[in-house]
Amino acid sequence: MIEIIPAIDIIDGKCVRLSQGDYGQKTIYNENPLEVARMFEAAGLKRLHLVDLDGAKAHHIVNHHVLQNIASKTGLIIDFGGGLKSDEDLKIAFESGASMVTGGSIAVKSPETFLRWIEKFGAEKIILGADAKNEMIAVAGWQESTGTDIFSFINSWHSAGIRKIISTDISRDGMLMGSATELYKKILQSVPDVYLIASGGVSSMNDIYELQEAGIPAVITGKAIYEGRITMEEIERFLNMAEGRRQK
């Protein structure tokens, strides 16, 4: 069964969502991210994708207090990203309760740093962020296209030890227009043994079932939950069904 990973994006300590990474298209959904995280945990979800959007803009970790609060008051396994640029940023993230961190722009702009993280902290704790538009990697809050195709980018880091990847189709992020299933299938054909986490565009449980049918290991969803397109009851039913299958 596909793993569902809910997302919480943070600006000014609040739970928000952007559309296509545009800070000008911001919607505040909850003033208390811990309340949202507890709702996810109560539904039976085990993971959380927590993004420090202030950190992404500042180029260093900012909302580690939110991470620490959620990590200390829930049992969720948290992967944390947004503006992580230095060993000190990672140290703060892990000390604040992150189980894993995600790096995207850093893997493009400072590959030697990203490689050092893999060697220092272990590949199991480092997730590669592979965000693309028209199958080309984009960085710096998705404002810059690199001219590198997503398949060669993932392959090169897979060779360096990376096994977990979050891939976002920028054109779909926050737009509720469906997942880029065909792109994800092509990624798995290119690198079959990665743990690929699809992100962006999920509009309903049907999108999640479609990704599952395509063999995608995991999916991140945020806006669909906040907008009521996916309910906690639907997620609970999905998880209960998955548990029932495992017990057979």
Q: Which residues are catalytic?
A: 9, 131
CB 150 within 8 A of CB 187: yes
Please report, for residues 23, 37, 78, the alpha-carbon distance to residue 65 in angstroms, rounded to integers and kept in the order given. Answer: 21, 14, 14
Reading the block at residue 141, the tokens are 């809050």
Cβ-in-10-Å burial (0-12, 13-18, 19+) of 246 comes to exposed
- Alpha-carbon gap, residue 247 to 164, rounded angstroms: 26
Residue 180: how many CA atoms within 13 Å on its side-chain side?
A: 26
Helix (H, G, I), strand (E, B) or coil at 199: strand
Helix (H, G, I), strand (E, B) or coil at 193: coil
DSSP characters over 71-87: HHHS--EEEEESS--SH
